[in-house]
Amino acid sequence: MNGPESEESQLRRAVCPGSFDPITNGHLDIIARASRLYDTVYVAVMINQSKQGLFSVEERISLIQEVTAEFGNVQVEAFHGLLVDFCKQRDIPAIVKGLRAVSDFDYELQMAQMNIGLSGVETLFVPTNPTYSFLSSSLVKEVAQWGGDISHLVPPAILAALNDRLGQR
């Protein structure tokens, strides 16, 4: 095949999906590593209407854009629906996920098998940097809420946003 369309389809794209309420250094490490392996990395903020977030989807997107700007090949979008549909609409063949521990594996494997069965989209697992293997957005929020130091667990912009939001309560 010739022409711009075929060149476009040969570009390597991947997606890092999640709730990102808020993004942590653990997420950022996976996105940074994916951005070195792929031409374009989409960060998909998956909307879950049954979960009330600390940050709105728009706020999460803007924070993720701020902390991933330096990578130069990361595109941040929100999506309401199945992750495989997000992938299909953008011609993304691969999902990149971090695995923190064996306890993550069961559910991640189920999702990966469901997703490949639904659409043929592959899931690639990246071992989380051990520095962040205990880290989750929920824990960060809980510790921050009680005044614990989380400055080594989130980027400065996220720390400021958390302090701002929790200070308003």
By CB atoms closer than 10 A (0-12, 13-18, 19+), residue 53 is middle
Q: Given the rule CB under 6 A, which of 15-23, 33-41, 58-66, 142-150 is the region that contacts ligand PNS?
A: 15-23
Phi, psi angle pair for 42, to nearest 5°: -90, 135
Q: Given the rule CB under 6 A, which of 28-36, 53-61, 107-115, 145-153 is the region that contacts ligand PNS?
A: 107-115
Catalytic residue among 27, 60, 97, 141: 27
Catalytic residue among 6, 36, 50, 51: 51
**Residues 71-100, interacting with ligand PNS (CB under 6 A):** 82-83
Of the two residues 7 and 142, which places its CB atom closer to ligand PNS in the complex? 142
Of the two residues 18 and 155, which places its CB atom closer to ligand PNS in the complex? 18
22 binds ligand PNS (CB under 6 A): no
Q: For residue 6, what are its two tokens? A: 């075929």
The binding site for ligand PNS (CB under 6 A) comprises 17-19, 46, 82-83, 111, 114-115
